[in-house]
Amino acid sequence: MLDFVVIFTKGGVVLWNSQTSGINFSSCINSLIRGVILEERNTDSKYFEEDHLAVQFKLDNELDLFAFKEKFGSIPALERLGSEYDFEGEFRSVLTAAEEASSKQVKAPKAMRSYNESQKSKKTVASMIQDDKKPVEKRVNIQESPTQPKSRPSSSPLTTDDIIQENRRKLREKLTPTKKSADSKLSAPVKQGATEKAGKKPRVWDLGGNSKDAVLLDRSKDSPEDVQYQSVNNELVGTMHGVIPDLDVEDEEDVDSAEDSSEEDDMNSHSLAPKKDRRGGGLLSYFRGIVGGKTIVLADLKPALEKMRDHLISKNVASEIAVKLCESVATSLEGKQMGTFDSIASLVREALTQSLVRILSPKRRIDIIRDALESNRGGKPYTIIFCGVNGVGKSTNLAKICFWLIENDFNVLIAACDTFRAGAVEQLRTHTRHLNALHPAANHNNRTMVQLYEKGYGKDAAGIALEAIKFAHDTKVDVVLVDTAGRMQDNEPLMRSLSKLIKVNNPDLVLFVGEALVGNEAVDQLVKFNQSLADYSSNETPHIIDGIVLTKFDTIDDKVGAAISMTYITGQPIVFVGTGQTYADLKAINVNAVVNSLMK
Ligand code: GDP
């Protein structure tokens, strides 16, 4: 029995519905749009189930409509909808015929499905970890807070926006080349290094406690301005308030010219010169064989999609996700009327970009500055816990984030809770010294901008973090950054102790630090950290990972797949990207940069 037929646009605007029953189907249709169509998850099955309702759907790519469309045959659908065409009548007669035909077939009543046969039982652990309903979200999403913004305890009664604007203004002032800074070699970003003092090498942070490196790191004699940072608004991650620069976007033209040069190679392919690897020719070149002037069917796309999948895998995109991305491109192209190669190329680019935007766009907003201000107004320090396996860059990127916070006028307490690895405390002490040298108290109304809370080695990390947060609370420190010992994702006792540390200290944010260069391994780490935090917490709503710090992005060239895989599988946003070994090498993810790297 067909209860309901609806025609709606991809964005959810209902154009027509059959209204045959009094039941309200809107919640089911909304879930379909939100969970399947917009996210492009599982659109290939064209089947969706929720609350005992089964929905079958079909996308018309020509019109971007979801509907039953069999009867639209030869007459262009828009023409029909716009004219006096009796859609209702036609629909009723088709429905009656279909129902009569089906009633003639004697069917055994459908047995109720067992739990094991249900969709729910097929949910993977990873999908179950994506818990949108965690209470911590409420805490992070300030828009949901019923309280009015209050002023920071120690300053004038400004609103949140005032303070943010003021901080932005200060930062802008710093970043605007004044005469002094223009004269100074340091006003330009690192990349434009032409103004860098001759002979000055970038900082090398080999932080294993080697004294030679310690001298290299000791920039306390340098001018405080001797630090380079950039300020760009972060659109994708959303609300970093102009402080964390986006990843650099490679010019689209560069990507396209790479494709053009591959086309030239193809044209000269009868020469004896060795043929350039097609992978170097860019992802769009795989679609070159599809000729224009006809409606695209899946069979036309298949060979190109297979190459595209391999291309994505070669960029470190997890294979399952590469397949999903290809499916989503196929869904967007199927049924479209093709023009020239250019239009195919632009359609593929557009479809891939849309999918990646969906994957990389955070499902929830993480706005550290705003939330820290809010916390401080409530008389509490804002607490971030960093976790991850050994050597991924936890301490280094914690120090970069500390630098960014200081630049935004927050003072910070670093809690040295890696009480295991020799040298871990000293590494943080070195950072503390450097950061204070770069931002002396004299420049911040005699506030010491970074302090280290440490109790040496071998002690209980959860207890040290608790003491540190209390100390920060008592002494009105704005932010506490908790460094934790590296641990392997499969080490149960250590994962239990991390879960305890998080439970006991109830931080505002838990950041997972993972290397971009290990690709699928980073995905495995993230999934298992999440799972362990959920499994080993005795809380009903355990605090799992809130966001990702993706490090060593500068070392992966165009193999940017880890960024996509990590966010796709867990739904957690990439909050920071580490791009090198200076305090300024902290960026925000940028979807265009990622797309361009994948296209190459
Ligand atoms: P931890 O054990 O996770 O705390 O890792 P560390 O912070 O000690 O970092 C390990 C190594 O990775 C150090 O040599 C860092 O300088 C280096 N590192 C950290 N982040 C980055 C990054 O974004 N890019 C590069 N190239 N190296 C990094």
Q: Which residues contact 141 (CB under 8 A, 6 or more apart)?
A: 364, 365
Q: How close is the Cα of 472 to the center of ligand 1, in Å? A: 27
Give the pLDDT confidence of 514-525 residue by residue, as tens digits: 999 887 788 889
What's the confidence (pLDDT) of residue 126? 40
Give the pLDDT confidence of 579-592 residue by residue, as tens digits: 999 999 999 888 88
Written as one string, the DSSP assignment of 545-579 is: --EEEEE-GGGSTT--HHHHHHHHHH---EEEEE-
Cβ atoms of 450 and 412 closer than 8 Å: yes
pLDDT band at 356 (very low <50, low <70, confident <90, very high): confident
Q: How close is the Cα of 156 to the center of ligand 1, in Å? A: 39
Cβ atoms of 444 and 409 closer than 8 Å: yes
Using CA positions, which residue lies closest to atom 17 of ligand 1? 393
Q: How close is the Cα of 439 to the center of ligand 1, in Å? A: 22
Out of 190, 203, 204, 205, give the residue to mutate to test ligand 1, the one with the largest number of ligand atoms within 8 Å of its CB: 205
Q: 34-43, 340-349, 435-444: lowest mean pLDDT where?
A: 34-43
Q: 97-101, 137-141, 264-268, 529-533: lowest mean pLDDT where?
A: 137-141
Out of 212, 244, 396, give the residue to mutate to test ligand 1, the one with the largest number of ligand atoms within 8 Å of its CB: 396
Ligand 1 atom, smallest distance to 513 CA: 3
Q: How close is the Cα of 131 to the center of ligand 1, in Å? A: 30
Ligand 1 atom, smallest distance to 206 CA: 14
Mean pLDDT over the full length of the chain? 72
Cβ atoms of 264 and 393 closer than 8 Å: no
Ligand 1 atom, smallest distance to 579 CA: 23
Give the pLDDT confidence of 164-217 residue by residue, as tens digits: 566 556 545 544 433 333 332 222 233 333 333 333 333 333 333 333 333 233
pLDDT above 70: residue 418: yes
pLDDT band at 498 (very low <50, low <70, confident <90, very high): very high
15 φ, ψ (degrees, to nearest 5): -95, -30
Query: What DSSP designation does 511 have?
Result: E
Q: 107-121, 278-292, 541-555: lowest mean pLDDT where?
A: 107-121
- Residue range 333-354: mean pLDDT, rounded: 79
What's the confidence (pLDDT) of residue 116? 54
Identify the helix (H) or strand (E) that includes residue 407: helix 394-407
pLDDT above 90: residue 600: no
Ligand 1 atom, smallest distance to 205 CA: 16
443 versus 42: the higher-pLDDT residue is 443
Written as one string, the DSSP assignment of 94-150 is: HHHHHHHHHHHS--PPPPPPPGGGSTGGG--HHHHH--TT-HHHHHH-GGG--SPP-
391 φ, ψ (degrees, to nearest 5): 80, 5
What's the confidence (pLDDT) of residue 504? 95
Q: How close is the Cα of 449 to the center of ligand 1, in Å? A: 23
Q: How close is the Cα of 328 to the center of ligand 1, in Å? A: 35
Ligand 1 atom, smallest distance to 390 CA: 2
Cβ atoms of 510 and 385 closer than 8 Å: yes
- Residue range 287-292: mean pLDDT, rounded: 73
pLDDT band at 111 (very low <50, low <70, confident <90, very high): low
Percent of the chain whose pLDDT exceeds 70: 62
Whether the predicted model's global pTM rises above the 0.75 cut: no
Candidates 331, 338, 282, 274; CA nearest to 307 is 282
- Residue range 487-495: mean pLDDT, rounded: 92
pLDDT band at 437 (very low <50, low <70, confident <90, very high): very high
Angle between helices 368-377 and 160-175 (to 10 degrees): 130
